[in-house]
């Protein structure tokens, strides 16, 4: 088999696996709870979680048992270059204690994923990093839904993609939150 043909088949297979690993399973959420189901999803896809009041990160599936305790609540998510997708962001539903989310380099997270995160975590989210994702200037508008957000980090490339859209999105975000620290990288 030629290398090109192999790569095309591998990409298709990888896409299927990625879609399966990001599937939101309502039955699983009912069985183990939103926080444990989200932790499973993140760990499966290369992310890490930190519980409310916890001093340590869980980044290995071997440590997931802590997530099954009823008292476990996800407070911080770090998914750098992880294989999570916008569709998988439905896992943010029910994360009522989430304070920070870092999605740096998660290229499969776009505007619809950011919309879900903002919709489900608008009451608690304080820090967000969407640099290196597929979030556009239009998608940044969803951030204005986050009244407690203190720090937003986003990709510098958004500035060059459409100056007017970028300016409008940033103005809308700043109007909704006067004390927000904006970082473009």
H-only helix segments in the chain:
3-21, 26-32, 34-44, 111-121, 137-140, 157-161, 163-176
Other beta carbons less than 10 A from residue 59's beta carbon: 15
Structure tokens at 56: 């340590």
- H/E stretch holding 164: helix 163-176
Residue-level length of the chain: 185
The C-alpha atoms of residue 33 and residue 139 are separated, in whole angstroms, by 29
**One digit per residue, pLDDT tens: the chain, 185 residues?**
444 444 444 554 445 455 666 788 899 999 999 999 999 999 999 999 999 998 899 998 888 888 899 899 999 999 999 999 999 999 999 999 999 999 999 999 999 999 999 999 999 999 999 999 999 888 888 998 899 999 999 987 765 566 777 788 888 888 888 888 988 88
Distance from chain centroid for Cα 79: 7
79 forms bridges with which residues in the sheet?
none
């Amino acid at each position: 088999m030629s290398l090109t043909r192999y790569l095309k088949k591998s990409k298709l297979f990888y896409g299927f696996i990625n879609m399966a690993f990001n599937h939101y399973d309502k039955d699983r959420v009912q069985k183990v709870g939103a926080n444990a189901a989200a932790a499973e999803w993140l760990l499966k896809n290369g992310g890490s979680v930190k519980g409310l009041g916890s001093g340590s990160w869980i980044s290995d599936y071997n440590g997931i048992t802590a997530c099954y305790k009823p008292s476990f609540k996800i407070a911080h998510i770090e998914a750098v270059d992880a294989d999570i997708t916008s569709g998988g962001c439905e896992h943010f539903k029910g994360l009522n204690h989430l304070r920070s989310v870092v999605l740096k380099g998660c290229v499969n997270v776009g505007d619809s994923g950011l919309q879900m995160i903002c919709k489900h975590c608008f009451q608690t989210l304080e820090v967000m990093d969407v640099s290196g994702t597929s979030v556009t200037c239009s998608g940044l508008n969803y951030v204005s839904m986050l009244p407690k957000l203190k720090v937003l980090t986003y990709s510098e490339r958004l500035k060059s993609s459409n100056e007017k859209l970028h300016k409008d999105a940033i103005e809308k975000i700043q109007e909704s939150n006067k004390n927000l620290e904006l970082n473009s990288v």
